[in-house]
Structure 1
């Protein structure tokens, strides 16, 4: 059927038609068949480039008055529109799920990040199949689709190479091509990457100039060029979400050095300078007030002088990282211009999936994992000062101080995770579409939310919201198209009501009014006490209060009550209830109620398996355990990694060095514990084993590591402390190598594969250890299966 007659509400559409007349002979004049039609969107549908950067506050980018130079964003704004009342959900996975579906994050099952999913419908991390992702809807209407960068929407029990891949970009996500990482963050120097669902190796090293941001831009430009070369009449949908500027703040040194001395004044003065620039740009109201300093972080003048150089460098590194990120985004946009498709491309450049992150704690950190492992006390001023020049480089896994995050959210209160206040949810956004938007370099002040992007793109493409997809009736999109505001500056708001919730931090917007309550502080310890929900103190802000600076709850209690009631109605409508502020219980899958990939107390891994996230590997933390490997040693002697888990920021590795068996436990990059065999491993087939006897008495305690070759004890050593919660958010477990940043200094990153053969490795929690410090290889598989 012709394009104009297609019924696009039920997807996929029929791809063939039954002829009304069938002749015996094709030469019969009545034998007529229409030419085979290629699926295409409605005429005039634009290309779409959707850019989402990470952990960037409203007051960070120079396009919105911030100190971090973003010339690509500024240039795009000159050719399009700035939206200064665009909002996110205050956290990454929820924002991304909402962005790609047009539904509120709880409606789409993503009330938190995937790692803390529970059995509650609004928090399960499983996207209902009644909510077709935008990319899938576009693909089924004839778009070419590709995603580059971060995907943090896959349920953690589905992140391995065993699948299922329903929630992966190229599985059920609707993308025909994916190049990026699965999870919350990536080591920008040594990322764990997938092409489609296949793990791939990065061929360059940081010393050779590798950085993930450049890699992603190269891949995006290459894919777009190929797509236009082969199917020039077919529009594309590219989702470019690089994971920058999320921690770790990794950037080439020369980019950070551009900002030397620019933050010597400290965060308090920086907030004042930023607000002044914002007023000059007009991205805040002329009478906007700077919100009061946060009492939970120190004033800059009270910071000890010996700590200030570290803190200044943290901000220099972050600013360099943002400018470097923007530079490569500019390369992608310039690529569209070189191909001659820029004019007909609808571009969204969303500067942050939430506000700036305060997860670095009050002092910031050299290793972000110290925050999650409750080790930040060890990152003393002396420790940080010794590593000042390494911040941002391959040896670091750094994050800046929460005070810098607050400054990056100027003029608003609070940060990422705090969905109650604009500091956590208001993100500057730029929209450009030369052939579809007449206005240039104009400001749009209509209230909008991340759920509004999907319906905007569908309306711009002339594609209806689907009624059914794959035979499943679809829930209505909950966002409001922003297209009405593209060419009408004074158009009244259409998105008049929006709830917010994250970790019990709650807010409601309605026709200019906001009622909010902050429940949990982002940098508080994981087990910190929080008040009962009914004891939370609510604040009320009037429509003219741009920055939520003047609380009028006491003078207008009736309006506050009205909005609190409205929040409860919206929370019920969108699956926010029951509220859940537990943290430790949600990290533990047993108490959270989510599935686990690895069941039982043993796991058998085989040679060649790798890039296994911590959710895909038997959890050996805080308990006695063993690691047993069957290996074949060449005549020249054993060398290289047998099995590893983690990275230079924390982990463990069993390997051979100069023919001897070694075990290294890397305690958060703070200290290395080494155990080595007295003798070399003989040539031939052997069983090597490490037994760890945990001290007990709580989490993160030490123990004794003992090495065995063919059941005979060959070495032992004390491990004084272990990591309680996590090794790495990016580097996983590898058999036969240590991919990414090296755990032990005994071998280099890359080129550390075992020089013989690793036939298999059995991980076992104490009660399943073999007798006589040896495991019968013939029974290993049987043992593993019996525990499933």
Structure 2
């Protein structure tokens, strides 16, 4: 009878999965047929039934929550001395362990790959963003199946597994409706996924995916953090109601606090005037708080302000005003994120689940962001406004709203990275990779306080495995697994003075590199035209040859904040560490070194792309330098024709073709100014052809049924059409952030869009 029920249940799952009713697997991924251990007779009475036992988690195994915040420096949260209030994080830290010497890879995608697999990022093909992959093993942009993820491991051990928020671990070429889906979250061990697959998204109008299907939530009135938290709580509630004893693994990775810094004014306004003293005073105040909390070695000193960042007191009144507002919004964003994390913690506590839950909280996948440049950015398609303080000031009240996509200036980045130098992606310095870590697990971790052992993001997976007592399988889905490279931190939990076991660690990002061994660190800064070295608009910047890079040497045991370069006094140690870097680079597939985006193959531009009727998601289309034509074949109803025919981009830049009040309009926006072409040629019920031509003479022409309808001169088509390649073009409605507020998004078209054809003049490559 048991076998019959098992077979029927499997058939039901197959059927309902096809119908889209139910998609949760009932068995682990690796479920080979086992030799039958019963006895088959001619009748049931003569038969000894047998069914294999399904894998179960160890008795009383804890629930697990990994929380990974984005672009948060060491000195941002109040839990680590920062001036931004994080009450939930403070409570977890005060009742658990603070690790003050924890490190990430310095950039989001490599950190996530290292975290999920317990292996160094280059060794699993993620030496940089998957978007910037090249034909080299360390930069393939695809995590191999031989490097199983935490979800694959824990699902093999009887856990349910959930991922929410930012993924950013799938190559863009397969992050489309064409798949394949085996490298999406649900293909790498997660039962459910709800979030976004790219590196960032609008917090008010997110590009969300559920499982592997893009979903449209417009018109949306909720912040992304709230949506993610609601979904996380529903996953937990549903699973525990179905099987109270079965543990879950929850990977919670909100887009916060990566740009765009967007949050309700009730949160940003809590910090009105709190940062008027500027980034220099902020650094000094936070450094003192960190000293008082014992987070720093007693001999640590505060490094000087980073080259290029102006002293706050030298800024104009307008600069101070707008720069302070950028930080108020960022602080509100972080505090609000903390509040939403608190909702999850409160739910667990209310339902007696908290004590048996291991929470691993990583405050940042790297240091504070450098993408805001020296003045901060609003995020519009028109990048020329970035250094115009009067323009930034004119947008003052919009910073943090859906009308802007801001990022704070570099001065605030270094401030939130206190006490370290540099910022995100510059792995020559601690500011890129030195992040806070908190372990909280009431049933097992009774100790509280600080831990100073050197650790790295690859250590989180083996730590979690040891704390939970699960098995690390040799094979997953038939793939023999590579050894995990991280080292469990469990040895340090009960012994604050235990000697560090993670004694060697390399770092590399777009040519910058460093090597750590037993407290010594050799590093090299490799200049590049990226967010701060030269002006963002300086396309003629040529990075020097790698052979010209100058190495530095620091003894972190005596100089935690890297203020004393010891190359001159200890050249032998430098050579020793450089040789060690070479060995680690060979083992982990770091070579070849490359400059930012060097070697990345641009997406192929097709002379003709057809988007067919019925598409419900955005379709990305690479746009080249030549002329571009977008032809829409539509069918109009006899009455009440209205809605968006196609749209790309949003309030910060893009285009939309739509019918409003009986007239055809084509709106282009760079986020600052809207330009609208309106047709005087009447549309007729039935079939119509609408053509938009972006010519090489810097003009856009609108035609209806082969008749010229309107024309407008433009400076450049790129700022209007770039989002077709990066975000995609939606057909029959305006998905996510609407391009214009003259209509209510998504404003679906009441007729039929038979197809959209994009024709391009493909210029020959040299």
**TM-score for the superposition, normalised by structure 1:** 0.89
Aligned partners of 2:328, 2:74: CA distance in 1, in Å?
A: 18
- Where does residue 677 of structure 1 map in the other structure? 679
Deviations 1:292-345 (A, max 9, x none): 111111111121222111000000000010000001001111111122121111
What is the number of equivalent residue pairs in this alignment? Answer: 728
Aligned partners of 1:121, 1:481: CA distance in 2, in Å?
A: 27
Aligned partners of 1:71, 1:746: CA distance in 2, in Å?
A: 40
CA distance 1:232–1:729, change in 2 (3 Å): farther
- Where does residue 581 of structure 1 map in the other structure? 595
CA distance 1:487–1:369, change in 2 (3 Å): farther
- Where does residue 21 of structure 1 map in the other structure? 39
- The answer to whether structure 1 residue 722 and structure 2 residue 717 are counterparts is yes
- The answer to whether structure 1 residue 433 and structure 2 residue 441 are counterparts is yes
- Where does residue 525 of structure 2 map in the other structure? 518
- Where does residue 252 of structure 1 map in the other structure? 264
Q: 2:204 aligns with which of 165, 178, 189?
A: 189
- The answer to whether structure 1 residue 462 and structure 2 residue 469 are counterparts is yes
SS at match of 1:107: helix
- The answer to whether structure 1 residue 554 and structure 2 residue 554 are counterparts is no
* CA displacement at 1:565 relative to structure 2: 1.1
Aligned partners of 2:399, 2:596: CA distance in 1, in Å?
A: 33
Q: 1:633 aligns with which of 611, 618, 636?
A: 636
Aligned partners of 1:369, 1:674: CA distance in 2, in Å?
A: 17
Aligned partners of 1:394, 1:99: CA distance in 2, in Å?
A: 32
Aligned partners of 1:97, 1:551: CA distance in 2, in Å?
A: 32
- Where does residue 611 of structure 2 map in the other structure? 605
* CA displacement at 1:663 relative to structure 2: 1.9
**Aligned residue runs from structure 1 range 446-485, under 5 A:** 446-485=453-492
- Where does residue 13 of structure 2 map in the other structure? none
- The answer to whether structure 1 residue 404 and structure 2 residue 418 are counterparts is no
- Where does residue 128 of structure 1 map in the other structure? 144
Aligned partners of 1:713, 1:488: CA distance in 2, in Å?
A: 78
Aligned partners of 1:745, 1:687: CA distance in 2, in Å?
A: 25
* CA displacement at 1:657 relative to structure 2: 2.8
Q: 2:759 aligns with which of 748, 764, 784?
A: 764
Given that 1:643 and 1:654 are in contact with CA atoms closer than 8 Å, whether structure 2 keeps it comes out as: yes
SS at match of 2:91: helix
* CA displacement at 1:251 relative to structure 2: 0.6
Q: 1:395 aligns with which of 398, 403, 406?
A: 403
SS at match of 2:36: coil
Aligned partners of 2:725, 2:684: CA distance in 1, in Å?
A: 36
Aligned partners of 1:83, 1:356: CA distance in 2, in Å?
A: 18
**Aligned residue runs from structure 1 range 195-594, under 5 A:** 195-202=210-217, 205-206=220-221, 210-367=222-379, 375-440=383-448, 442-520=449-527, 522-524=531-533, 525=536, 527=539, 528-542=541-555, 543-583=557-597, 586=600, 589-590=601-602
- Where does residue 63 of structure 2 map in the other structure? 47
CA distance 1:710–1:434, change in 2 (3 Å): same
Q: 2:189 aligns with which of 174, 188, 191?
A: 174
- Where does residue 785 of structure 1 map in the other structure? none
CA distance 1:357–1:767, change in 2 (3 Å): closer
Aligned partners of 2:735, 2:122: CA distance in 1, in Å?
A: 36
SS at match of 2:679: strand
SS at match of 2:702: strand
Q: Which runs of 5+ in 2 are unaligned?
A: 1-27
* CA displacement at 1:553 relative to structure 2: 1.3
SS at match of 1:337: helix
- The answer to whether structure 1 residue 145 and structure 2 residue 161 are counterparts is yes
Given that 1:369 and 1:727 are in contact with CA atoms closer than 8 Å, whether structure 2 keeps it comes out as: no
- The answer to whether structure 1 residue 76 and structure 2 residue 92 are counterparts is yes
Deviations 1:630-680 (A, max 9, x none): 11112235322111111111112222233333222222x133232221222
Q: Which runs of 5+ in 1 are unaligned?
A: 1-9, 591-595, 696-702, 769-788
Given that 2:665 and 2:677 are in contact with CA atoms closer than 8 Å, whether structure 1 keeps it comes out as: yes
- Where does residue 704 of structure 1 map in the other structure? 699
Q: 2:732 aligns with which of 731, 736, 757?
A: 736
Given that 1:11 and 1:468 are in contact with CA atoms closer than 8 Å, whether structure 2 keeps it comes out as: no
- Where does residue 23 of structure 2 map in the other structure? none
Deviations 1:581-607 (A, max 9, x none): 143653xx24xxxxx5x7632111123
CA distance 1:759–1:578, change in 2 (3 Å): same
- The answer to whether structure 1 residue 623 and structure 2 residue 638 are counterparts is no
CA distance 1:444–1:730, change in 2 (3 Å): farther
Given that 1:360 and 1:368 are in contact with CA atoms closer than 8 Å, whether structure 2 keeps it comes out as: no
Aligned partners of 1:729, 1:73: CA distance in 2, in Å?
A: 38
Greater mean deviation of Cα atoms: 526-535 or 245-254 = 526-535
Aligned partners of 2:724, 2:489: CA distance in 1, in Å?
A: 39
Given that 1:625 and 1:763 are in contact with CA atoms closer than 8 Å, whether structure 2 keeps it comes out as: yes
Deviations 1:746-769 (A, max 9, x none): 32333x11121111110110379x
SS at match of 2:654: strand
Aligned partners of 1:737, 1:722: CA distance in 2, in Å?
A: 22
Given that 1:185 and 1:730 are in contact with CA atoms closer than 8 Å, whether structure 2 keeps it comes out as: no
- The answer to whether structure 1 residue 649 and structure 2 residue 652 are counterparts is yes
Given that 2:116 and 2:461 are in contact with CA atoms closer than 8 Å, whether structure 1 keeps it comes out as: yes
Aligned partners of 1:259, 1:152: CA distance in 2, in Å?
A: 31
Coordinate RMSD, CA, aligned = 2.0
Aligned partners of 1:516, 1:224: CA distance in 2, in Å?
A: 44
Aligned partners of 1:609, 1:151: CA distance in 2, in Å?
A: 24
Aligned partners of 1:489, 1:202: CA distance in 2, in Å?
A: 48
Aligned partners of 1:369, 1:446: CA distance in 2, in Å?
A: 44
CA distance 1:45–1:728, change in 2 (3 Å): farther
Given that 2:606 and 2:762 are in contact with CA atoms closer than 8 Å, whether structure 1 keeps it comes out as: no
* CA displacement at 1:233 relative to structure 2: 1.5
SS at match of 1:170: helix
Aligned partners of 2:252, 2:33: CA distance in 1, in Å?
A: 30
CA distance 1:726–1:413, change in 2 (3 Å): farther
Deviations 1:474-493 (A, max 9, x none): 11111111121122211111
* CA displacement at 1:41 relative to structure 2: 1.9
Aligned partners of 1:136, 1:353: CA distance in 2, in Å?
A: 21
* CA displacement at 1:189 relative to structure 2: 0.4
